[in-house]
Amino acid sequence: MYDESRTTEEAVEFADFNAKLLVLDVLCYDLDVLEPYDGESEDDADEDLDVEGQDDRAREYYDDLELLPSQLSLVTELSVDSDLEVLQDVHPGWDGSDDRYDPQNWDDVLDLPALTTVYAAAPLPAHVAERLAAKGVDVRSA
C-alpha cells in the first residue's frame, strides 16, 4: 500500500465524483495502491443503503479518499464500465441500466499524466473521445 504519511504532495480535488470513481477503481483494485472500501459486516450493510440502493458509507469513504499526484501518475489505463468493483462498493447490485455513475466532467480524467488507454463498454461522449485522442490516448469502445 501507498504510504501517505511522508509526502508533501497536495491532494488533487476531483470536479466530478464519478470520474474519481473510475480512477479509484484502478488505484484500489488494479494497482493495490489504496485500500478499497470494506464494509464492517454484512449485518449492518442494509441499514446503510439509501432509497436508491447506494451504500452511503462507501460513497463517503471514496469521496473522502485523497488522491495525490504521484498516485495519479500511476494510472495508465481506465475502464468505463458498470461492472467496476468500486461501483459495486458504492451501489451493491447496480446493473448499469442508467447513467447515474457516468462522469459529467471529464477534465480530471483528461489531466491524468500517464493515461494511454481508455476501455469503454459504450461509446464515450464525442467531445471526450476527441479530447482524449488529441492527447494521444487510445480509446477502445465495445
Amino acid in position 35: E
Q: Which three cell numbers stand for residue 13?
A: 480535488
- pLDDT range class, residue 34, cuts 50, 70, 90: very high
Mean pLDDT of 119-131: 94
Residue 5: pLDDT band (50, 70, 90) is: low
Q: Which residues, in sequence order, are CB contacts of 125 under 8 Å at separation 6+?
A: 106
More confident residue, 2 or 107: 107
DSSP labels, 79-129? EE-TT-HHHHHHSTT--S-SSTTS-S--HHHHT-TT--EEEESSPPPHHHH
pLDDT surpasses 70 at 41 = no
For residues 14-35, give the mean pLDDT: 98
Kindly tell me if the per-residue pLDDT of 8 is higher than 90.
no
pTM of the model: 0.87
Residue 7: predicted pLDDT: 65
For residue 3, is pLDDT > 70? no
pLDDT of residue 13: 96
Please state, for a pLDDT cut of 90, what percent of the chain lies above it. Answer: 76
